[in-house]
């Protein structure tokens, strides 16, 4: 993988700057929002390089509990390099022909590689591997989250990274006539997969209505302090048939009770209704998920999963002068039902976090406390606390 990364860097640099002197009079170097930037004077080539580190201390454990037994394990306080990323992006030949690569150094994983054609705001195209825009929570970068990490329900409902083709755009009308859309055909076997298990592919679609006439970006917290409210509601759908019932950064995987799937065994249909709101230092977002898992090899037996979360945060300095200006208080509540047919089958998360922004999301410290409860059929509720401290540092 190290050789792959070296070749990748070599290819990007050579492609961007080994042009004739007629096209590139000189190269401008500066530091911008996306790291170090190398830009030719004619703006035909742009290379952006950014590094990111995420350091995390957690106790008694780091991961969200998945099974009832997870609440009974011994304490395992840990300090770790949670993420170490190298990001490379920019454009080549034309400002609207863009590229992006993201590499996880700590695990030697090539996470993203995609080419985007964004000549028109209302009609753009993308090909490669990327995080599917199915949920706001997952699509927001891990370095720009409001909490230490994503909620309890992310594991069960995210589509994570997939390979394929996508068309998307921003239909910018007047007033409430402001929409975003995404539609994609994807291999449906997760990050790093080079083959499909059968002739079925994943289909994904998302429609977003910016009903206040202002677009809301994929970033946690209202760091920009919106003088005018910005909000949206979005609806997303996805369908796929494969051996997998969940996806993560590692690729295709399995939910509990659906292990070791055969090719094309599970038809998975998902929907997500979500919203977001930003106004004068206050931010809020919600998601409501429904997922059907249909076992095609066992008489179309169907399991239904549901989950939701609500999350909000505020910079209280705007109410109280004595409150630190760079501090935000945020909270989240999430519920997950692994099987809606079972009356006693519920997992919950209640979290509160404190963010101190030294330099926006690029350099921030987050302290978080979470309480989880777990009910498994006839078993009584079992619960437990988790505390995490995290430093995000991008350059």
* pLDDT value for 65: 76
Name the band, by pLDDT with cuts 50, 70 and 90, for residue 71: low
Secondary structure letter of residue 75 according to DSSP: P
**Is a pLDDT exceeding 80 seen at residue 253?**
yes
The whole-chain average pLDDT of the chain stands at 90
Q: Is residue 44 part of a domain?
A: yes
pLDDT in tens, 329-361: 999 999 999 998 887 789 999 999 999 999 999
Other CB atoms within a 10 A radius of the CB of residue 233 amount to 15
Other CB atoms within a 10 A radius of the CB of residue 74 amount to 6
Residue partners of 328: CB distance under 8 A and separation at least 6: 146, 221, 313, 314, 315, 354, 355, 357
Query: What are the structure tokens assigned to 260, written together?
Result: 């070791």
Q: Closest Cα to residue 138, out of 153, 126, 124?
A: 153
180 with 169: CB under 8 angstroms?
yes
Q: Is residue 153 part of a domain?
A: yes
**Is a pLDDT exceeding 50 seen at residue 231?**
yes
Q: Is the pTM of this model over 0.95?
A: no
Q: Is residue 262 part of a domain?
A: yes
* pLDDT value for 61: 84
pLDDT in tens, 276-307: 999 999 999 999 999 999 999 999 999 999 99
**Is a pLDDT exceeding 60 seen at residue 12?**
no
Calculate mean pLDDT across residues 72-93.
Answer: 87
Burial letters 17-30, b for 16+ CB under 10 A, else e? eebeeeebeeeeee
Other CB atoms within a 10 A radius of the CB of residue 91 amount to 21
Rounded CA-CA distance 353/149 in Å is 11
* pLDDT value for 7: 46
* pLDDT value for 157: 97
Please count the structural domains in the chain: 1
* pLDDT value for 195: 87
Q: Is residue 324 part of a domain?
A: yes
In degrees rounded to 5, what are phi and psi of residue 384?
-170, 160
Name the band, by pLDDT with cuts 50, 70 and 90, for residue 24: very low
- Helices vs strands, H then E, count in the chain: 3, 20
CATH of the domain at 344: 2.40.160.10
pLDDT in tens, 142-170: 999 999 999 999 999 999 999 999 999 99
In degrees rounded to 5, what are phi and psi of residue 2?
-65, -40
More confident residue, 254 or 75: 254
Q: Is residue 12 part of a domain?
A: no
As a whole number of Å, the CA-based R_g of the chain is 22
* pLDDT value for 21: 42
Q: Is residue 5 part of a domain?
A: no
Query: What are the structure tokens assigned to 375, written together?
Result: 């009910």
Q: State which residues form the domain around 302.
A: 27-394
* pLDDT value for 198: 87
* pLDDT value for 77: 85
Q: Is residue 232 part of a domain?
A: yes
Q: Is residue 221 part of a domain?
A: yes
366 with 330: CB under 8 angstroms?
no
pLDDT in tens, 378-391: 556 677 899 999 99
More confident residue, 10 or 190: 190
More confident residue, 26 or 232: 232
Rounded CA-CA distance 104/109 in Å is 5
* pLDDT value for 19: 47
Rounded CA-CA distance 95/106 in Å is 32
Distances (CA, A) of 84 to 38, 390, 395: 22, 13, 12
More confident residue, 92 or 6: 92
Rounded CA-CA distance 58/77 in Å is 6
Burial letters 214-224, b for 16+ CB under 10 A, else e? eebeebbbbbe
**Is a pLDDT exceeding 50 seen at residue 213?**
yes
% pLDDT > 70, the chain? 90
Q: What angle do CA 219, 222, 224 make, to 5 degrees?
A: 95
**Is a pLDDT exceeding 90 seen at residue 139?**
yes
């Amino acid at each position: 993988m190290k050789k792959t990364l070296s070749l990748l860097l070599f290819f990007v640099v050579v492609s961007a700057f080994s042009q004739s002197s007629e096209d590139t009079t000189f190269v401008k170097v500066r530091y911008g929002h996306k790291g170090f930037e190398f830009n030719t004077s004619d703006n035909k080539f742009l290379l952006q390089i950014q590094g990111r580190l995420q350091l995390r201390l957690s106790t008694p454990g780091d991961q969200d509990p998945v099974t009832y037994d997870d609440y009974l394990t011994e304490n395992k306080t840990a300090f770790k390099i949670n993420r170490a990323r190298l990001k490379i992006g920019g454009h080549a030949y034309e400002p609207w022909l863009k590229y992006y690569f993201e590499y996880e150094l700590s695990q030697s994983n090539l996470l993203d590689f995609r080419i985007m054609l964004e000549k028109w705001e209302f009609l753009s195209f993308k090909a490669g591997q990327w995080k599917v825009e199915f949920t706001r929570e997952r699509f927001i970068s891990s370095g720009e989250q409001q909490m230490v990490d994503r909620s309890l329900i992310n594991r069960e409902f995210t589509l994570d990274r997939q390979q394929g083709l996508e068309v998307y755009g921003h239909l910018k009308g007047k007033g409430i006539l402001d929409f975003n859309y995404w539609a994609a055909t994807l291999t449906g076997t997760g990050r790093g997969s080079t083959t499909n298990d059968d002739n079925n592919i994943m289909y994904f679609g998302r429609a977003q209505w910016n009903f206040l006439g202002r677009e809301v970006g994929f970033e946690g917290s209202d760091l920009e302090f919106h003088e005018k409210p910005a909000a949206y509601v979005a609806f997303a759908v996805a369908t796929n048939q494969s051996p997998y019932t969940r996806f993560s950064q590692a690729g295709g995987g399995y939910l509990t009770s659906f292990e070791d799937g055969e090719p094309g065994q599970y038809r998975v249909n998902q929907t997500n209704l979500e919203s977001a709101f930003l106004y004068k230092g206050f931010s809020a977002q919600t998601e409501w998920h429904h997922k059907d898992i249909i076992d095609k090899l066992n008489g179309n037996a169907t399991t239904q999963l549901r989950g939701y979360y609500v999350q909000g945060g505020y910079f209280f300095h705007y109410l109280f002068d004595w409150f630190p200006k760079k501090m935000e208080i945020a909270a989240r509540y999430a519920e997950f039902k692994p099987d809606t047919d079972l009356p006693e089958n519920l997992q919950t998360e209640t979290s509160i976090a404190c963010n101190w922004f030294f330099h926006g999301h690029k350099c921030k410290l987050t302290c978080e406390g979470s309480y989880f409860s777990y009910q498994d059929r006839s078993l009584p509720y079992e619960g437990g606390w988790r505390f995490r401290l995290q430093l995000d540092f991008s350059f």
